Every structure is written in C-alpha cells, then in structure tokens.
Amino acid sequence: MFEWIAENAATIIAAAAVLIAVGLAAFSLVKQKKSKKGGCTGNCAACGGCCPYSKNK
C-alpha cells in the first residue's frame, strides 16, 4: 500500500490541489450568491430581481 502511494505521490498531490481549487471556487460563488454582490447579468428573471435593473421592485 505504501509503495503504491509513494509511486503515485505526484498524481495524488496534483489531484488534491485541483480538488482544493474547485472547492474554494465553489465556496466563493456560494458566498457571493448569499451576499448578492456578484454575478449580475442584467437578467432579472434569473436572480429574482435583486438588482437596480429589476422591474419587480
């Protein structure tokens, strides 16, 4: 078992780094969504009308 880990250490480290990066990106997107600060495209139907362009005020 330890031999397999030693032989594939570079792959395991690279995969862990990718997983961490994806996790941080997802966390950031969720945090922005909750604070309603990011990602406005002007399509108020998609976000529920929380921006100044909304007709649902």
C-alpha 38/C-alpha 57 separation (Å) is 19
Asked if 45 and 54 touch (Cβ cutoff 8 Å), the reply is no
Name the residue ranges covered by the structural domains of the chain. 2-47
Asked if 45 and 33 touch (Cβ cutoff 8 Å), the reply is no
Reported as a pLDDT band with limits 50, 70 and 90, residue 22 is very high
Q: Collect contacts of 25-29 with beta carbons under 8 A, ≥24 apart.
A: none
Name which of 34, 11, 30 is nearest 22 in CA terms: 30
- Please tell me which residue, 33 or 38, carries the higher pLDDT value: 33
pTM listed for this prediction: 0.57
Place of tokens 């031999």: 3
- Please tell me which residue, 37 or 23, carries the higher pLDDT value: 23
